Structure 1
Amino acid sequence: MLLVGVGGQGTILASKILTEGLLKAGYDVKCRRSTACRRGGNVSTQIRFGDKVYSPIMGKGEADVIVAFEKMEALRWIEYLKQGGEIVVNDFEMPTIPIQIGAEQYPQGVLEILQEAADTVVIKAGDIARDLGNSKTMNVVLLGALVKAMRLDEIDWEALIRKNVKRGFEEINWNAFKEGYQI
């Protein structure tokens, strides 16, 4: 699977929790994180898991699932999705630095393009997180949706979330996970 977003969205935290959970479930897991140097840059994590995995790196057309924390990032990485793969996309715009400085334009009709190209689940994780009381938990909302979609129910996600999130934010993140899981 491929998790993509913009620096500052919590993509790395979600991938860390996911990777730990998969390891605890007994899978062989390989993970490769690629991050921009600062907030507003591109972030991607490639995660492969199974009985035996030799490399985290996937080429174009190899990802079973793309989880996009920002919708333009799904479009940027769509060529990595295998035929018949699925996209879980946050209906959220967080312009990257090139867009912020006017070097690029934010594309129009992103969700429509994604829905025409692949099986796409659109989640308004930002709205859900805001309704819970903390918009920064949208990454955990998406994690919950991913866990449900991949049927990874045998893992103690509550313990992993409570262990990995910032102290004092355990309960709201657990609630965010449960909301995402129910979508």
Structure 2
Amino acid sequence: MDGKNILIAGVGGQGLVIATKIISEAALEAGYDVKTNDVIGLSQRGGKVYGSVKIDSKVYSPNIPHGECDILLAMEPMEGYRYSHMLKDNGMAIVNTYRIPSTSIQQEVEEYPEGMLADLKQKYNVSEIDVIKVGKELGNTKVGNTVLIGIMAKKLDIKKETWEKVIQKNVPEKFIDHNIKAFNIGYSYK
């Protein structure tokens, strides 16, 4: 696999830290060098958060320069749109379509922009899915990050079994089943 730069964007409470950990541990298990960076200072529920994961044979820094992101995992549409400038031309955006307005929108400091997905689709390869709907069908709405990881996992040269092993290791035992099912839904997504 060529090196991959992955950016994860969302709001606090969506599982960004665990998603970063799962992605990085799966890459390490597969023999890659990995560097990560989570910016979670505003991670209380509703605050804007993002993280990066760089995977390659040798990685020196977790920071992804503008325009050099291969994959953007947008756990929330506006937050994904906010960081879409980081993507390479024809980069991939995997977008949860369920809106969770950040505190700045709730406090009417910002407006929720319309037409974001259409704009993203003009510039990038976009996979979109309502992960809350998937979570409701599985009986656990907190598995959205695992659905997005499943979609992304097909794009990386890491065995499916490795992903499942790492998920089992990192989620609470009572939620392993939900998360494995969520990952597999993402993995089989178009």
Residue 109 (structure 2) pairs with residue 98 (structure 1): no
How far apart, in 1, do the equivalents of 2:113 and 2:188 lie? 30
Runs of at least 5 residues in structure 1 that lack an aligned partner in the other structure? none
Residue 52 (structure 2) pairs with residue 46 (structure 1): yes
How far apart, in 2, do the equivalents of 1:54 and 1:97 lie? 34
Please name the residue that 1:162 is paired with: 168
Q: Deviation string for 1:75-98 (max 9, x for gaps)?
A: 100111011211111111000001
Residue 29 (structure 2) pairs with residue 24 (structure 1): yes
CA contact (8 A) 1:30 1:56 kept: yes
Q: Report SS of the residue matched to 2:137.
A: helix
CA contact (8 A) 2:43 2:49 kept: no
Runs of at least 5 residues in structure 2 that lack an aligned partner in the other structure? 1-5
- 1:103 positional shift: 1.2
CA contact (8 A) 2:30 2:162 kept: no
Q: Report SS of the residue matched to 2:110.
A: coil
1:87 to 93, 101, 118: 93
Percent identity reads 39
How far apart, in 2, do the equivalents of 1:111 and 1:37 lie? 24
CA contact (8 A) 2:147 2:185 kept: yes
CA contact (8 A) 1:24 1:155 kept: no
Please name the residue that 2:70 is paired with: 64
CA contact (8 A) 1:33 1:45 kept: yes
TM-score of the aligned structures, taking structure 1 as reference length: 0.95
- How many equivalent residue pairs? 183
How far apart, in 2, do the equivalents of 1:28 and 1:151 lie? 13
Please name the residue that 1:144 is paired with: 150
Q: Deviation string for 1:95-123 (max 9, x for gaps)?
A: 00011111111111111111112111112
TM-score of the aligned structures, taking structure 2 as reference length: 0.92
Q: Where does 1:5-16 land on structure 2 (aligned, <5 Å)?
A: 5-16=10-21
CA contact (8 A) 2:150 2:182 kept: yes
How far apart, in 1, do the equivalents of 2:43 and 2:73 lie? 21
Q: Report SS of the residue matched to 2:173.
A: coil
- 1:155 positional shift: 4.9
Q: Deviation string for 1:138-176 (max 9, x for gaps)?
A: 111111111013342265222211111123111111111
Q: Report SS of the residue matched to 1:121.
A: strand
The 4+ residue runs of structure 1 with deviation greater than 3 A are none
CA contact (8 A) 1:140 1:173 kept: yes
Q: Report SS of the residue matched to 1:2.
A: strand
